[in-house]
Structure 1
């Protein structure tokens, strides 16, 4: 305004004008909440099988919302039964939290399952979300839920899914270790232990960790190995060991989190429409029996398999020698003593060495989750757009439900737009401080709690 028009305005006035202009373009938050019932009605008409739920308080104010697209609910049946959940804050003046539940398809891509909106990450909100999720997807054998160690998620899973296994995100657990045990460079050992396929590998890594830091070893044992260590997990987690896919969803819609609620849902719908359309075309044009990701994984293992010595035991069994270790592969049972074959559902390098020695088709030994025909079924449905608003035909009882926006208190200062890092995390764009005394990250020499290092001379 000063450069182009010669008019001086204060920062606050410029900010208020920007907010008013944004409301003129995309509607205000109050208008968006009032439109929400009609929008959800038309969304369900355009996308058969879609489930939406809205919870209001006594004053007809918005409290919670849940949405699962029909195409996602159909495709979920073809995906591995490991659900990753996470929540992230919304950036409007009404605040709130967006909840996301997603899985991985056979091509190792993020497959969004359901979304929710609530006031914050608290027990009541998560319990409501998980209850609606359970109603939408029903029961599933060997179901597993993966999340960070948020107490409200833990409490909600225990209440709504008492018989379902709850796994801890390894990335967040590692970040907690970095914060709690500063200066110990043993995170590679933790990675080895947590990602091990066999109990022998896990105990070997933990024994090495015990020598360096008994305190860290005790902390990991208190976190319960069956929640974070793959060899002891009661069911298969496959390669889904972190909650990164849910956080990737949050990153994909980072700009939409500033929009009013109906515009936010529409942005999510548009993203899913693009994903379903693109991935459906990729699956149709894939002529290998398995998905591209599964094929690439086996090609990497094939390079290692050629360096292994295979001795047949019978028509379907072999002993495989690699270095100083010997593994037994049973192709009929889809098993190897390294445990990778049965835990991943894709032949390990030892199994591929056996398959190649017997001149068999390695694709036949992949789990059905990774078959290209299953991927086609995953994206058989479509996410459809809504008709133009002037063509909406909404019943009067829904149109007359003028929902109110949730109560909110405008905070002083400019609204925060950047995510708050988890414990042990540092934003990528921020230069991390390194202590000149102890050499660890996150603080400087002045704030260091370690003993000063005396220099000779």
Structure 2
């Protein structure tokens, strides 16, 4: 035959038999012939095989023997391998090619030996029909958890492994503890002792199985309750590749396949939702963002003059949108304390996107959104761009204190963009970091004690108070005390922090925004932004209306707090030393300077509201407490915060409604009692 072309006889479904001399022969199965040329691509060759044997390209390997050598199988894995096979077989009219089941390389399973000889008993190709007759959990899920000492990348990786392990081993479980530090789960069956506990090691920061009782006394049959393990995300992850190859993969077929393969009994709606999520994940979210967002940014600035809406598209086609409404910018600059919380978090409603947010607090300590960005990843580059947009949007020059979780290099980014600002660490995140240092060797009582001491070190106003806390911690653990000192107290302890936090140390921004966008379908980027706009518009109107019932100079929350403190202040002894300096005695002696708004306890300077000693002086000297409180706590400044409104965008709903119609048009059909609907 002509050189550079050979007829490949592709065989599958049989088995190899090894003779006494070490040579192998293949018997059984079926065979098909394919003409292979020297310039044929491996992808085309595999596509032909997939079509002939009704299988997926990722489920098999292709091997052949060299001429006059029946002992060693040669693997074809790329274009050059295929060309070599044609060249080696140039003197023959045909060559035998073996399509073999792909074997995973795990110590717990048989593998292909170095010689190329399959060491498992079968060399058959797994077809789609074969896959439906066996459970896919033979891919190793039944051994995903193998005992104490097993290490995972983090709590999410452990939870994923636990989920697959439970499905493969046919049992249900429940979480006893489930957070970023530790995960404990036990079998859901009553009195069954199966239990596993994994946590992060303080030293190596690895997430490791610490305890595991691998004994089941239950029947371990998922049965009708199997749907509890099959979340729509999990179903989507299982069927995604099949759906990519077969777009018409129907929910009824999905449910039947998962029943065969995993023993799970799913409802039609569950299978449909899993397919819906998988389709969304297979779609490119950038196309929607790049098509709709430029128009929407223009509409924001047209309907809300003075607002900033910036769209950034990178070289790899990723889109990032920054939004700051004029009403928010004005409210922050004219009514809120110069205090901004920076938070980045995943959106529960759409895992494709993250939200970066800058929020302030009003005179009632409510969250006040200043600006936000929807982006695909929370990176230092993205935060730097966000801060640049924020700085450009602000018109007033004030020294701002930023509070963050110090994530992704924010400490450096803030210092670069807002050069004269202060940066504090979120004490909520700091407390969680502290808890991670306390492993299971600590009793709960001792954990509570050292945690209380650590929190006192955060709010300690004087260096000596902070040092007392450190010594108390050192008495329990030298390593723990050193960890606290190495955590840069100058960024979080009142004793050393140079900026002003006005009594605010952390934000619940993530919970607020995620509660706003808690909807049943995955919103697009434009829908996310518009939902936030609507919520902010409602928030500003509601809080502005609340002012109608206010009659005091200070906000209700601050009034209530100072009244409670005043009751205690009246019991203190006050001695005037000069016209503006007073000595106040309680458990200790404190000096108050009424003119400079200072007290030696330092709480007045830190919170910008009179401390109990200052209140005692104000009361005795017949002063007005309003005159000694920060303007940011007054009703007047609260009114300025909400003086402007966010305007509607009349035609913003049109593209959104189109998306919703498309989604609801393919909602699960009604199911008749006598069977599945088609």
Is the CA contact 1:89–1:98 (under 8 Å) kept in the aligned structure 2?
Answer: yes
Are 2:633 and 1:370 equivalent residues in the alignment? yes
Is the CA contact 1:33–1:261 (under 8 Å) kept in the aligned structure 2?
Answer: no
Q: Using a 3 Å threshold, how does the CA distance of structure 1 residues 263 and 330 change in structure 2: closer, same or farther? A: same
The equivalent position to 1:265 in structure 2, one of 501, 509, 529, is 529
Q: Using a 3 Å threshold, how does the CA distance of structure 1 residues 391 and 119 change in structure 2: closer, same or farther? A: closer
* Superposed CA offset, 1:422-449 (max 9, x none): xxxxxxxxxxxxxxxxxxxxxxxxxxxx
* Superposed CA offset, 1:97-124 (max 9, x none): 1101101112211111100022212121
Is the CA contact 2:296–2:652 (under 8 Å) kept in the aligned structure 1?
Answer: no
The alignment partner of 1:55 has SS state of strand
* Superposed CA offset, 1:321-380 (max 9, x none): 113x01111111111111111111111111111111112211111111111111111111
The equivalent position to 1:14 in structure 2, one of 272, 276, 299, is 272
How far residue 180 of structure 1 moved from its aligned partner, in angstroms, is 1.7
How far residue 271 of structure 1 moved from its aligned partner, in angstroms, is 0.9
Q: Using a 3 Å threshold, how does the CA distance of structure 1 residues 79 and 219 change in structure 2: closer, same or farther? A: same
Is the CA contact 1:89–1:97 (under 8 Å) kept in the aligned structure 2?
Answer: yes
The equivalent position to 2:294 in structure 1, one of 27, 37, 41, is 37
Higher relative contact order (CA 8 A, sep 6+): 1
The alignment partner of 1:121 has SS state of coil
How far residue 96 of structure 1 moved from its aligned partner, in angstroms, is 2.3
Are 2:362 and 1:98 equivalent residues in the alignment? no
- Distance in 1, Cα, partners of 2:286 & 2:563: 51
Structure 2 residues not aligned, in runs of 5+: 1-250, 256-265, 656-678
Larger deviation, residues 130-139 vs 366-375? 130-139
Larger deviation, residues 116-125 vs 7-16? 7-16
How far residue 390 of structure 1 moved from its aligned partner, in angstroms, is 9.1
Runs of 4+ residues over 6 Å off in structure 1: 20-23
For 1:253-292, list aligned pairs within 5 A: 253-255=516-518, 258-292=522-556
| Count of paired positions | 380
- Distance in 2, Cα, partners of 1:388 & 1:133: 27
Q: Which residue of 2 aligns with 1:419?
A: none
Are 2:443 and 1:180 equivalent residues in the alignment? no
* Superposed CA offset, 1:70-108 (max 9, x none): 001101112111110111113567712110110111221
For 1:69-84, list aligned pairs within 5 A: 69-77=325-333, 78-84=335-341
Q: Which has the higher strand share?
A: 2
Q: Which residue of 2 aligns with 1:413?
A: none
With normalisation by structure 1, the TM-score equals 0.77
Q: Which residue of 1 aligns with 2:322?
A: 66
The equivalent position to 1:322 in structure 2, one of 567, 581, 586, is 586
Is the CA contact 1:103–1:110 (under 8 Å) kept in the aligned structure 2?
Answer: yes
- Distance in 1, Cα, partners of 2:645 & 2:620: 43
Are 2:395 and 1:132 equivalent residues in the alignment? no
Q: Using a 3 Å threshold, how does the CA distance of structure 1 residues 382 and 21 change in structure 2: closer, same or farther? A: farther
Is the CA contact 1:148–1:169 (under 8 Å) kept in the aligned structure 2?
Answer: yes
Are 2:612 and 1:349 equivalent residues in the alignment? yes
Max Rg structure: 2
Q: CA RMSD in A?
A: 2.7
Is the CA contact 1:33–1:262 (under 8 Å) kept in the aligned structure 2?
Answer: no
Q: Using a 3 Å threshold, how does the CA distance of structure 1 residues 34 and 157 change in structure 2: closer, same or farther? A: same
- Distance in 2, Cα, partners of 1:254 & 1:210: 45
Is the CA contact 1:225–1:232 (under 8 Å) kept in the aligned structure 2?
Answer: yes
Q: Which residue of 1 aligns with 2:645?
A: 382
The equivalent position to 1:210 in structure 2, one of 474, 486, 493, is 474
* Superposed CA offset, 1:200-231 (max 9, x none): 22122222222222212211211111101112
Is the CA contact 1:104–1:110 (under 8 Å) kept in the aligned structure 2?
Answer: yes
Is the CA contact 1:88–1:250 (under 8 Å) kept in the aligned structure 2?
Answer: no
* Superposed CA offset, 1:165-202 (max 9, x none): 22111111111111123225201001111111222221
Q: Which residue of 2 aligns with 1:114?
A: 371
Q: Using a 3 Å threshold, how does the CA distance of structure 1 residues 343 and 140 change in structure 2: closer, same or farther? A: farther
